[in-house]
Each structure stands twice: as structure tokens, then as C-alpha cells.
Amino acid sequence: MRVDIITIFPDYLSPLELSLVGRARDRGIIDVHLHDLRQWASDVHRTVDDAPYGGGPGMVMRPEPWWAALTEVSESGAADGRRPRIIVPTPVGRPFTQGYAGGLAAEPWLVFCCGRYEGIDARVIEAWADDEISLGDYVLAGGEVATLVMVEAVTRLLPGVVGNAESVADDSFANGLLEPPVYTRPPVWHDREVPAVLRSGDHGAIIRWRREVALRRTAQRRPDLLAGTDPAGTDPAGRVAQ
């Protein structure tokens, strides 16, 4: 999978060199390209923002550098007929979910556009974005952290990245439920005992116990999941409704 990230703070994405994503890059499973938006700014000061029409506080990211950046990045794969899926992290987007991450994991090429200030001029988003995606109901300073989260969640789902594929299949949300609690040795710790069934060696009983506890936990903590709705959807071809 190829991933391009356009940002005014490429250094902010340095965690993508570490741990699971870093190893996936080393092994050629994911090919990450960072781009500094300012290289597409035309003035001597490399300005990428301007005052908002209609007044109000803060600045808005100008359309010209974004348009030039997205044109050049998209055309860089045009030789082999590829077109990227373009994602704009934004608090006004659809919520990011495991189902949506699974859809992205099936795509060959993703482009993330990291907004700053009050966001990116809406005309860029209308013309270029396939998805506007929110990490949650809070406001971050920029799209970089949201992009880090999405790239890590998607990379985990790529074949060969997580050693035991079953562990991804058993994760929270993979089957619509929260994962049951997990334990390791010792069997008793500070008077707290690992449930006997997990030490019984009875695989059928263990599967039933895990299912029951996962259902109970999900009903208590996230009853919305049992309704079976995925607010971001899983259809990678679906564009965000305007």
C-alpha cells in the first residue's frame, strides 16, 4: 500500500518510523511519502493561510497550494493508471471506525490531507476529498495526529503486519463486540485470580466464556455497538454525502 501525507509539519509524522508501522515500512508492506505543503506555496514567505471570508477568528488554509499539491501527488501515480483515495481528517466528518479502517486496508493508495488553523478552503475538499473523517467529538490542533491514528489502524490490518492474523480477527470491533478481558501469568496476583475457565484447557468452554463476557461487556459499555451500525460505513467506494 502507498500512503501520501500532505502537511505543514512533516516532522509531526515521525512516529510512523517506529514500531509496527516502521517495521511494515522496512518490509515494504507500506510505502509512506511525506510532503510539506509549503513547497507548493508560491510566495516568498511560503504562505498557506489567509483570513476567512465572512469574518471570524483564525485563518483558513488557502486553496492554491492544496490544489497544486493534490494535482502533483495524484499525477505521480497516473503512469500506471492509479488514482488515490483522498481522505481529509476533520471534526465535521464521519466517525472513524474499525469497519472503515478495514475498507481502507483494501485500497492500494491513500492520500491524507492534514488541515491546520480553521481548516482547508471548502472548495478543495469539495473537489478532491473522497472521505471527510473525524476521530471523535473533540477538536485537535491539526490533522496530523488523526492521520497517525488512521495509518496505524489501517496498517495493522494489512496482511503480514500483525504476526498472528487471529489476534486482529479477535480484536474489539472486528466482530461488532468489545474484546473480553485478557490475562497472563501468574494465576493469582494481589488476591485476584485468573478465571478458572481460562486455565481449564477446555477450548469449547473458553470460547463460550469469551463470547458471553464480550457480549455482557459490550452491552454495559457500548450498547450502540449491539445495534450494529457503523457510522463511517465499510464501503470504500462510498463518497461522503455533502
Residues identified as active-site: 91, 118, 156, 171
**Smaller CB separation from ligand SAM, 65 or 143:** 143
Residue with Cβ nearer ligand SAM (79 or 139)? 139
Residues that bind ligand SAM (CB under 6 A): 89-92, 114-116, 118-119, 134-136, 138-143, 146
**182: CB partners within 8 A, 6+ apart:** none
Residues 211, 208: Cα–Cα separation, whole Å: 5
Nearest distance from residue 209's CB to ligand SAM, in Å? 36
What is the Cα–Cα distance from 142 to 119, expressed in whole angstroms? 8
In the complex with ligand SAM, which residue's Cβ is closer, 181 or 231? Answer: 231
Q: How far is the CB of 146 from ligand SAM (least distance, A)?
A: 4
Q: Which is nearer to ligand SAM, 94 or 156 (CB)?
A: 94
Q: How far is the CB of 180 from ligand SAM (least distance, A)?
A: 29
Q: How far apart are CA 153 and CA 98, in angstroms?
A: 8
When CB distances to ligand SAM are compared, the closest residue is 115
In which element (H, E) is residue 27 found? none
* Nearest approach, Cβ of residue 236 and ligand SAM (Å): 19
Mark 183-211 as b/e (b = at least 16 C-beta within 10 Å).
eeeeeeeeeeebeeebeeeeeeeeeebbe
